[in-house]
Amino acid sequence: MESDQKSYDIAVIGGGVFGAWSAYQLRLRGHSVLLIDAFGSGNNRSSSGGESRATRCGYGDREIYTKMAWQSLASWKRLFASAAAGRTLFYKIGMLWLGSPGHPHLEGSRTAMRNLGIPFEDLDFVELKHRYPQISIAADTVGIFEPEAGALMARQAVATVAAEFRRIGGRIVIDKVLPPSGTGTLQQIDTVQGHHFTASKFIFACGPWLPKVLPSIMGNRISPSRQEVIFWGTTPGTDDFEPQKMPVWIDYSDDRGFYGFPNLEARGFKVAFDNHGPSFDPDSDDRIVPSERIAAARAYVAERFPALAGAPVAETRVCQYENSSDNHFVIDRHPEIENVWVVGGGSGHGFKHGPAVGEYVADLITGQREPEYTFLLRADRDIRQHAAV
């Protein structure tokens, strides 16, 4: 096939939340930008392609993410106000953290949010039972409630970012990019369809595909894991699990690692495994939740939400986390190709941060800010173990 005749200032490979927001921010600043994705923004194989994602500021003592989440929430709301065409893409229903007194994540989150002036409430057992009688908890359970937090409708949200990028003059191509080779300066990217695209700078924001697209630098730094989600049918005639009575929640009161969402848009009560699952190939692995995992989730739901003990499974999904070794983002220049940057490591918590990541990337590659050490490629970030975040 003939090469594309246009040379772009920047080509962004990967149309998920990090790539779409990076492309959008660069286009807002006047650059000619190509955004290319194998399946399209919000597709059902991507880490950005689920129905809902939490937005919250509780990050323990990792204050950098508390700041980014708060900044990003404002950007999401501005985008939706101008471009969502009457759709509700953010449900401001709050975020509820459950845990034991003195839990380090809750303690660190309180300190960080207090330091930054982000509103939250401390809830003791009595107040938790008063507000959420549908949740069965032990007498020593405490909670944190973030009133400004809630749920982003992920698939629709990232598609909205891509649509706005196109509206302001960005170009979107659906094609799969082949791994680049060589060192020095990358002149063009090639695709499986035989296209060739040239640009001055390239951003690879390929999510769980990063180890395949850039194996020499990401093969030992990103490890996709299988993450399973179950939607439970709610009881007719009750609104106990609707968004007006139920926030987004995460349960740190034991080590089972569950989180979930109320019955948003009548899809069912979402319960998901947060603990990292087995290694996962986003291209070839099946996305069917096995019966033993459904049984494990059912046992948890029956204990924590007794009214749903006999609830039917309405839907299941399998997505993936693209984990870095320390669950920090990976945003840095390629060590061998000077005009290539890598953006990834969302690690299951990245979606909410899309706007802040996009602004950071745009500033970084245009020389308007210094790199953040936390996000740099370093030998000590090889895959060894996953730390909860």
What is the CATH classification number for the domain harbouring 237?
3.30.9.10
User: 294 and 245 in one domain?
Assistant: yes
Q: Is 32 exposed, middle or buried (0-12, 13-18, 19+ CB in 10 A)?
A: middle
For 36, 177, 191, 209, 342, the CA distances from 196, given in Å and listed in that order, are 12, 9, 7, 20, 20
DSSP structure string for 36-52: EESS-TT-TTSTT-SS-
Q: Cα–Cα–Cα angle for 112, 113, 118, nearest 5°?
A: 155
> What pLDDT is attached to residue 389?
46
DSSP structure string for 274-310: -S--SB--TTTS-----HHHHHHHHHHHHHHSGGGTT
Mean pLDDT for each consecutive 10-residue tract of the chain (389 residues)?
A: 76 98 98 98 95 98 98 98 95 98 96 98 98 97 98 98 98 98 95 97 98 95 97 96 98 95 97 97 97 98 98 97 95 97 98 98 96 90 49
User: 246 and 211 in one domain?
Assistant: no
What is the CATH classification number for the domain harbouring 208?
3.50.50.60
User: Of 369, 371, 375, which is closest to residue 350 (Cα–Cα)?
Assistant: 375
Phi/psi of residue 160, nearest 5 degrees: -65, -40
Domain boundary among 320, 335, 356: 320
> What pLDDT is attached to residue 383?
53
User: 291 and 201 in one domain?
Assistant: no
Asked if 197 and 50 touch (Cβ cutoff 8 Å), the reply is: no
> What pLDDT is attached to residue 384?
45
The side-by-side arrangement of strands in the sheet containing 223-232 is 121-123, 142-146, 95-99, 248-251, 258-261, 269-273, 223-232, 313-323
CA-CA distance, 21 to 159, in Å (whole number)?
11
> What pLDDT is attached to residue 172?
98
Residue entry with tokens 């245009």 = 366
- Look at residue 73 and tell me if it is in a domain: no
User: 330 and 200 in one domain?
Assistant: yes
Q: Cα–Cα–Cα angle for 156, 262, 252, nearest 5°?
A: 110
Domain boundary among 272, 296, 320: 320
Dihedral Cα 107, 72, 16, 2, nearest 10 deg: -150
- Beta-carbon contacts of residue 295 (< 8 Å; ≥ 6 apart): none
Domain boundary among 320, 340, 358: 320
Looking at the structure of the chain, the number of domains it has is 2
Domain range for 215: 7-48+155-222+325-381
